[in-house]
Structure 1
Amino acid sequence: MTNAGVRDLIIQKYLRHRSLDMQRHYKHILKQVLGAEYEELMQEKKYVDITGLVSRHQPKNPITEFVRRKMYQITTQYGECHRPTLKAPCPTVNACWRCEHWRASTDDLVYLKSDLQRVESEIKIAEDLGMIRQRQGLESDRNNLINLIKRLENIDDYNSLD
């Protein structure tokens, strides 16, 4: 309400605070939370793409970075889409592992390892059922996942980044 420009006395009445001290307390907490979120948002982060190329991303503007993260959070299960927003609609919807614009960070290692286990069990099923084309596609996914995981586990060893 404060950020929307509502006066303190109206907020006090609406929230039934006995004094303005309570409101000041909440404003102080809000500043601390926003400060911590801002620091996290503006930190440089290292990523690996599907080819295993390691890169870094340093946000320049907190608002555009916040919007980018929140928008892409909807479109990717994990990892981040770094597709330029002015391009045509995404041709690989729900197939991010195969997209050149998808990036994963060490935050995603747990999910990538889980997916690797799932893909390996699906390869076994495809082999047992004689599903050659499905197995080939799954093996390609497995190789991409292995490459991503290895690079992310050793990401700090890569000093010369793009």
Structure 2
Amino acid sequence: MSKSRSFRDYHYDHSDILLAVVILIIAAALIVWRINIIMAYPSTLGQKAGTTVTTEQNATTSDNTAAKESTRSSGTNKATWTDDKLAEEFTLTVEGSSADKKIQCLIDAGLFTSSVDFKSVCKSYGLNAASIKAGTYTFSQGMTKEDIAKDVIK
């Protein structure tokens, strides 16, 4: 009888641990199996909302000599930049019901490269990017991204 009692004691003592290990293995297998879908979920949300989701690594720009030269954004009615300042006066109508749509107006106009770019400029100057105001703005020659952010958030 002592042999069966010792087996029952061993089984009783270790069954909870064994069950926990089995659950962890099943959870890990599900995560590994569905990792592509899990990682694509933010992009799926962005597509449903009509916005694009970029990683901060892709959204940041490097400071090289080419960035300091005069650049013109592609498309019609885009801002022209020279040495990180507006090369000419630029008028823009910011509209939208959400802050993301208003920020997208600035991006489409070539004033910022991404929403991460706009939000990082706002954060560095202690501004709340979510409080962007709709309206028509005229940005004068020589304004920087920081000046533009201050104007649209006032």
TM-score strictly above 0.5: no
Name the structure, 1 or 2, with higher relative contact order (CA <8 Å, separation 6+).
Answer: 1
TM-score band, normalised by the shorter chain?
under 0.3
TM value normalised by structure 1: 0.24
